Structure 1
Amino acid sequence: MFVNFRRIRKCQCVQLMTTCLVLSVVMVCWEQLDNSVVSHVKSYSYRYLVNRFSYINKSLTIPREQARSFSNFRYLLDHPDKCSGKDVLLLLFVKTSPENIERRNAIRSTWGNETYIQGALGVTVKVVFALGALQTNSEEPSWSKRSRVGFQAELIQEDRLHGDLIQQDFLDSFHNLTLKLIMQFRWTHSHCAHARFFMTADDDIFVHMPNLVSYLLDLSSRGITDFWIGRVHRGAPPIRSKDSKYYVSHEMYQWLSYPDYTAGAGYVVSGDVADKIYHATLTLNASIYIDDVFMGICANAIGVSPQEHVYFSGEGKAPYHWCIYERMMTSHGHVEDIHDLWEAATNPEVKQSASGLMGRLYCTAVKMALLCKPYSYNTYPCKAAFS
């Protein structure tokens, strides 16, 4: 049998080159693979095989005097009588930055309009904005200090007009989000502990208030307790890459996995859970600045686990379609489009069109097409199409 040795050598050369190329790619990407794939494998192993999060509670427990340093800031703006004498279904804190006045005004005129909620939905929902301060330091030029003082004066004027800003004297920054979360639970405990539900949300989120109110009224009628719902992250590992915004050092958090938590874009807890979380913050080290992770740590300490709701958003926007609006709870990443979305999502024709057998079948098919695409990272998971 004739053998073409030249062709064999050519094939071997191609194989060698291919192998070298693959090895080069692996070597270049190894750090990324180690940070993502390997860390997730370790995290899930810890989460599902070891599952000893009690160690986390012990390692982060600190004396009460030390824990209070994370909440003992004076209030610059406050409304302690906001909930007084009212049957509050929901206290909703919106996390915002001082400069985001346009976002706050958009929320006040759409889904966060308390007058609309009371009149159209027949319940009391209190919407307040949580923010820190634009602080000065001795090294700043005098013109910068004056501009910051002027900006605080604008916030005071805004608050006089709307009466809904809750501000403490800590630097408003990404690394102080946990301080902002603690402030919310502290304020709730002191001034609105009778609210049946508590919600925290970002200021670029859209809340379908009619759907949410209907859902919470049903839960309230059944006396639900130990309740925490949102977009759940299970077995998430700490990010150890120093290039990441969410980098967490071993000194800050030594364990392989975070306790289960919900995406900070928006989640809801029952009033009893809000009170327990507040007391947990009085004993835990809050130096970890990822606020939704700290919420998971606190909830783990009190024995409360989050529940998944397929129509609570994570990081992405929901698709724009009336079949989505019919079941929507929250959607993330809305600023310029919030007025148009509010008008479209709360249109009475949405519920009418989605009712009946044909409407339900049509919407199931539409949601499958929108949510069940391969490699799709839409706001809601594919299973939302069937619920």
Structure 2
Amino acid sequence: MEKQGGSGCKRQVVVESPVRPLRPCFIFLLFLSTVILIILLAFPDSSFQTDWWENLSLYTYYRRWTKPDRPLGPSPTTIPPTTVPAPPSTTIRPLPTNNYHFGYPRNYHFIVDEPDKCNTQTPFLVLIVPVAPGNLAARDAIRRTWGNETLVQGKKVQTLFMLGLPGGPDAQKLQEKVNQESQVHHDLLQSNFLDSYLNLTIKTMVIMDWLATHCTNATYAMKIDSDMFLNVENLMTMLLRPDIPKMNYLTGMLMWNRPVIRNPNSKWYVPVEMLADNRYPTYTLGMGYVFSNDLPVRFVEVSKDIKLFNIEDAYVGACMKKLGLSPTNSPDPWQWKAYLGKYNRCEFSKVITYIVSRSSQIVDYWMDLKKTPGSPCP
């Protein structure tokens, strides 16, 4: 934001007088205020007042602090149909008036969908990757590596990508590219919320809704970020253990007793108006967590009663708590890695997850692990 220095008016020569004359700048501002007041009074029942006010940048900050449970960015119902055309068969659902419901995924609808993907595949495990519309590099890296693992230890695996709407001046061009990509790969899901960091909770709940409505025959599902290396073989070994539950199960890298960040300068800032508790319930770190596929439909339903806040993995933890459940520690918790430091082929062969710094690393590490048959450890 640019800062103005001074009043914006040229200094006038001051002439001592019993009565101080009105400055030209003040006269202009008085005139402008009078004109605005006349216009607002002239249209008391029209939408002009609302449109004029909401187009001001100040309105964004006003809305953030007076209605913080509302997702930032344009409401799905205000996106012009010319920007992203919805299929003729799709009905746009209006947002409910109860402000607890902004995390309820059925407020939104899919504009790109693969509704029969699980019906034809009948997967044991579904991997869904939330990714920005413009991040084609990540999608292609995953398609070339762990996303191409469709049969692991005799079990079918399905990988899909979840997108929101692109924003900015090039949104239409980017949307056209997304549509073309979908025609080629048939692995994209896209809903009509604005794709942004602050809307990740909505994105996650839309993933849950898709699983609950289109993929009920899967046994497990996993939400995994686009900057992750995933060893599907090790994940499948864990899921096939006889002691792993097939219901009420959620696991990953567990977070206990974590404080809610109240610093407005933090990326993970959550205002008190969004979440009154000062500690999060136990949750699994959002980089990747796996859950039994009975949970998505219950998450969707319980989200009606949980006020939306912008930390998506903690929000899933809040859903678990509302259901009277808690995430479960993995049999080998050390396999859920955030960072390993320098790449080590032996160590990488043992983990389930690992965060990479760029998409090309997913390909490099994968190719190195797969290049030689046999054990990667000396």
**TM-score scaled by length of structure 1:** 0.67
CA-CA distance at 1:339 after TM superposition: 1.2
Partner residue, 2:209 = 186
Q: Is 1:159 aligned to residue 159 of structure 2? A: no
> Which residue of 175, 187, 193 corresponds with 2:198?
175
Deviates more, 1:99-108 or 1:317-326: 317-326
Partner residue, 1:312 = 336
Partner residue, 1:74 = 109
Answer yes or no: is the 8 Å Cα contact 2:231–2:349 preserved in 1. Answer: no
Answer yes or no: is the 8 Å Cα contact 1:64–1:283 preserved in 2. Answer: no
CA-CA distance at 1:252 after TM superposition: 1.3
Distance in 1, matches of 2:342 and 2:324, equals: 35
Partner residue, 2:13 = none
1:1-387 to 2 correspondence within 5 Å?
67-70=100-103, 71=105, 72-113=107-148, 116-118=149-151, 121-135=153-167, 144=169, 147-219=170-242, 224-286=246-308, 288-308=309-329, 309-314=333-338, 316-317=339-340, 319-334=342-357, 335-347=359-371, 349=373, 351=375, 354=377
SS at match of 1:282: helix
SS at match of 2:364: helix
CA-CA distance at 1:344 after TM superposition: 2.3
Answer yes or no: is the 8 Å Cα contact 2:141–2:363 preserved in 1. Answer: yes
Distance in 2, matches of 1:86 and 1:317, equals: 34
Q: Deviations over 1:234-258 (max 9, x none)?
A: 0000111111011111111111211
CA-CA distance at 1:174 after TM superposition: 0.6
Distance in 2, matches of 1:64 and 1:211, equals: 45
**TM-score scaled by length of structure 2:** 0.68
> 1:268/1:262 Cα in 2 relative to 1: closer, same or farther (>3 Å)?
same
> 1:186/1:130 Cα in 2 relative to 1: closer, same or farther (>3 Å)?
same
CA-CA distance at 1:209 after TM superposition: 1.3
SS at match of 2:305: coil
CA-CA distance at 1:194 after TM superposition: 1.6
SS at match of 1:281: helix
Distance in 1, matches of 2:97 and 2:353, equals: 36
Higher helix share: 1
Answer yes or no: is the 8 Å Cα contact 2:134–2:166 preserved in 1. Answer: no
Answer yes or no: is the 8 Å Cα contact 2:119–2:215 preserved in 1. Answer: yes
Identity between Structure 1 and Structure 2 (%): 31
Distance in 1, matches of 2:254 and 2:136, equals: 30
Distance in 2, matches of 1:229 and 1:100, equals: 27
Distance in 1, matches of 2:322 and 2:191, equals: 26
Letter in 2 for 1:150: K
Q: Deviations over 1:218-240 (max 9, x none)?
A: 35x86532211111110000111
**CA-atom RMSD, angstroms?**
2.3
SS at match of 1:169: strand
> 1:255/1:67 Cα in 2 relative to 1: closer, same or farther (>3 Å)?
closer
Distance in 2, matches of 1:171 and 1:105, equals: 22
SS at match of 2:182: helix
Which runs of no fewer than 5 residues in structure 2 stay unpaired? 1-68, 70-95
Answer yes or no: is the 8 Å Cα contact 1:64–1:282 preserved in 2. Answer: no
Q: How many residues align?
A: 278
Answer yes or no: is the 8 Å Cα contact 1:325–1:350 preserved in 2. Answer: no
Distance in 1, matches of 2:372 and 2:249, equals: 30
CA-CA distance at 1:338 after TM superposition: 1.2
CA-CA distance at 1:69 after TM superposition: 4.1
